[in-house]
Amino acid sequence: MFTLNDTSSMQFRNETEKNIAFEQYKILADSIGKTNETRENSNNFWITVNGIATSALAYMRDTQTISMERKSFLLWTIIVIGMFLCLSWFSYLWTIKKSLEIRNTLLVDLEKYFPVPIFKTFFALTQKKPDKSSLTIKEMFVPTLFLIGYFFFAFLLFFFTEEVITPSSQSE
C-alpha cells in the first residue's frame, strides 16, 4: 500500500486503501489512549509495592523477635529489593514514553493524508512535539522519592547499624 518513509508521495489507489488507512489511524489513536490509561493505572501498582516494602522496612526495624544478624540481612534485602523496584518503575515509565513517542509520530505522519489533522493541531496548540518526552517531572518525582528513601535508609543502616537495628524500647 504505502510506506511512511516516503509519505510525501503517498497516494491511495482506491477508496478501500483509504478506508484501511483510516481504520489503522483509529486503531493507533485508540492504542495511545489505552497506553496512557495503562501508565496511569500502573502507577498505583508501583506505589503499593513500594509502600509495602517501606512498611516492611519499618516493621523489620522495630521487631524484637529476630536476631541482630538476621535483622541486618533482612533489612539489606528489603532495601535492595526496594531499589530494584524503583529502577524497574523507571524502566517501565521509559518504555511507555518511547512507545507513546513512536505512536504519536506515526499518528501525525499518517494524518497528513486526512482532511482534519486533529493530533497535529493539538500538538501545535499545546506547543508539544509528537516525539517530545511524554514523561513528566511529576511522574518521575514519586519513584525518585522512594529511591531516595531507600538510599537514606541504606546510609543509616551502613553507618549507624546498631542504632537502626536496635529497637528504641531496648536502647533505653
CA 128 to CA 36: how far, in whole Å? 16
- Length of the chain in residues, anyone? 172
Work out whether the CA dihedral 43, 25, 110, 7 comes out positive or negative. positive
Classified as helix, coil or strand, 126 is: coil
CA angle, 8 then 9 then 14, to 5°: 125
Tell me the mean pLDDT in the region 60-76.
87
- Percentage with pLDDT > 90 across the chain: 35
The tens digit of pLDDT for each residue in 85-98 reads: 999 999 999 999 88
Whether the CB-CB separation of 113 and 24 falls below 8 Å is answered with no
**Residue 5 carries which side chain, given as an amino acid letter?**
N
pLDDT score recorded for residue 134: 64
Residue 50 CA to residue 96 CA, distance in Å, equals: 20
Between CA 72 and CA 154 the distance in angstroms is 11
User: What mean pLDDT do residues 20-28 have?
Assistant: 87
Residue 140: is its pLDDT beyond 80?
yes
- Summarize the confidence of residues 121-139 as an average pLDDT: 69
CB of 117 closer than 8 Å to CB of 110? no
The most confident of the ranges 41-45, 106-110, 137-141 is 41-45
Domain map (residue ranges) of the chain? 15-166
